[in-house]
């Protein structure tokens, strides 16, 4: 088994996971070696760890405009999502309706679908549709809320396209109707400003490994006075809101990552955004029959999702891999199956385009040289794959040179 190391790749798959920032790793390491005490212990050796966790909690709260005691540490974004939705349903046992969208991450989508299919305690789930840009209709959303609705769960930023939902408006509408509001902010946190002091959100999910902290650590924000039931029942950790000994090193790292994210937010929205735009515009200009998936402006600064008609996303990824370029086709969770992603299907992306979609997601660690590298290699990969594609041949019969590294069509 040979390993491909970071210095050998152009990593543009940051919506799948991110590298742990060197500063974060440095903060974490002593908590595996010197300071391994249990933060719940009475002795100073353990107690000092508790103090450090308190610092981390404050840093994480500061990134999203929360109070430190409104945060519950979890094991991942998925646990945060499950905990929020199940807590909301338990708060209103007589209400059976959940409102969500068709483009949610599997952590929300599959849970809601499971709840709808469970026998004995049937929940009704409304999955709101999106338009061609991946946007929701706010009126349709408002109309979907009724007396029976217990909770709304919609993502802040889409992991496949980067499209942003109007969370502030949506949370205000839910509040006006007495419905609890959860948002999966796993992709939004650290990339765009979030101020929970200003937006009436009840539950918000974060995952460490999407913002340069470790894998296997997450946070659930629970607004003060929002009804809550723990998902993991056990010890008195997290004031009885989540049992289980804390993932100490990862939590401390997440605190540092949130501090760094706040410091880098400006760069994310200027330099990273400019790199993404250069990449996106270059790909669209150099490749005929290509299109952007997702709203042009209501979008995360780091994400682009482009479709190349008549080629297979998996084939593109294999060729990119030969040049050390890490990207994704659809979400990491749906690739491996032949179905195009549920997000692109919900947006009505045509079949021939949905199959050839590539997501490139950048971070502050990317450079313009790396963007040039992708722009140099990706368009010829598409042109070559098309010369081999029977669908392309049928659609553009006669217009394609057999030997061509450039396709003949305009």
Ligand X SMILES: *Cc1c(COP(=O)(O)O)cnc(C)c1O
Q: Which residues are catalytic?
A: 333
Residue 288 near ligand X by CB under 6 A = no
Number of residues that bind ligand X (CB under 6 A): 14
| Contact between residue 47 and residue 73 where contact means Cβ atoms under 8 Å apart | no
Q: How far is the CB of 8 from ligand X (least distance, A)?
A: 25
Pairing of strands 203-207, 218-222: antiparallel
Q: Draw the binding track, 73-102, toward ligand X (x: CB under 6 A; -: no contact).
A: ---xxx------------------------
Measured CA to CA in angstroms, residue 43 lies from 49, 60, 99, 279 at distances of 10, 26, 47, 54
- Terminal Cα-to-Cα distance of the chain (whole angstroms): 44
Both tokens assigned to 205: 């999910």
φ/ψ (deg, to 5) at 217: -145, 140
Taking CB under 6 A as the criterion, the residue among 207, 305, 328, 329 binding ligand X is 207
Q: Tokens 């919506």 sit at which residue?
A: 15
57, 97, 182, 210: residue in contact with ligand X (rule CB under 6 A): 210
Q: Alpha helices, DSSP H only, in 6-105?
A: 22-28, 44-64, 77-91
Q: What is the DSSP letter of 193?
A: -
CA distance 162 to 179: 26
Minimum CB distance to ligand X smaller for 76 or for 327: 76
- Site track for ligand X across 144-163, x = CB under 6 A: -----------x---x----
| Nearest residue to ligand X on Cβ basis | 77
Question: Given the complex with ligand X, which of 95 and 109 has the nearer CB atom?
Answer: 109
What are the structure tokens assigned to 42, written together?
Answer: 């009475």
We find the least distance from the C-beta atom of residue 69 to ligand X, in angstroms, to be 22
Per-residue binding string, ligand X, 216-255, x by CB under 6 A, is --x-------------------------------------
Closest contact distance (angstroms) between CB of 81 and ligand X is 6
User: Whole-angstrom Cα distance, residue 201 to residue 175?
Assistant: 8
Beta strands in 214-342 (DSSP E): 218-222, 290-292, 303-308, 325-326
82/287 with CB nearer ligand X? 82
Binding site for ligand X (CB under 6 A): 76-78, 105, 107, 155, 159, 184, 186-187, 207, 209-210, 218
């Amino acid at each position: 088994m040979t390993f491909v190391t970071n210095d050998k790749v152009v990593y543009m798959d940051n919506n799948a996971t991110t590298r742990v920032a060197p500063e974060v790793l440095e903060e974490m390491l002593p908590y595996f070696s010197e300071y391994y005490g249990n933060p719940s212990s009475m002795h100073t050796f353990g107690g000092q760890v508790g103090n450090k966790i308190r610092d981390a909690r404050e840093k994480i709260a500061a990134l999203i405009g929360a109070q430190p005691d409104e945060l519950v540490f979890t094991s991942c974004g998925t646990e945060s999502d499950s905990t929020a939705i199940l807590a909301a349903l338990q708060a209103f046992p007589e209400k059976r309706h959940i409102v969500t969208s068709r483009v949610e991450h599997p952590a929300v989508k599959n849970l809601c679908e499971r709840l709808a299919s469970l026998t004995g305690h049937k929940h009704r789930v409304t999955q709101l549709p999106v338009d061609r840009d991946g946007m929701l209709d706010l009126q349709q959303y408002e109309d979907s809320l009724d007396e029976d609705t217990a909770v709304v769960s919609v993502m802040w930023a889409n992991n496949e396209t980067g499209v942003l939902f109007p969370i502030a408006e949506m949370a205000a509408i839910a509040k006006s109707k007495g419905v609890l509001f959860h948002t999966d902010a796993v992709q939004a946190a650290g990339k765009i400003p979030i101020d929970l002091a200003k937006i009436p959100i009840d539950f918000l999910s974060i995952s460490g490994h999407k913002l340069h902290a470790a894998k296997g650590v997450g946070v659930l924000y629970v607004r003060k006075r929002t009804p809550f039931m723990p998902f993991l029942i056990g010890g008195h950790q997290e004031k009885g809101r989540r049992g289980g000994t804390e993932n100490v090193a990862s939590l401390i790292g997440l605190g540092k990552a949130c501090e760094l994210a706040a410091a880098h937010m400006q760069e994310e929205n200027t330099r990273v955004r400019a790199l993404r735009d250069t990449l996106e515009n270059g790909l669209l200009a150099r490749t005929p029959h290509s299109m952007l998936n997702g709203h042009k402006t209501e979008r995360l600064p780091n994400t682009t999702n482009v479709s190349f008609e008549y080629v297979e996303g998996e084939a593109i990824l294999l060729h990119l891999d030969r040049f050390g370029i890490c990207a994704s086709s659809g979400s990491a969770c749906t690739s491996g199956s032949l179905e195009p992603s549920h997000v692109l299907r919900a947006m009505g992306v045509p079949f021939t385009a949905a199959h050839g979609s590539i997501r490139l997601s950048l971070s502050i660690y990317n450079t313009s040289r790396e963007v040039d590298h992708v722009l140099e290699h990706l368009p010829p990969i598409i042109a070559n794959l098309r010369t081999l594609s029977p669908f392309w041949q049928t659609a553009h019969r006669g217009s394609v040179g057999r030997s061509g590294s450039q396709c003949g069509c305009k």
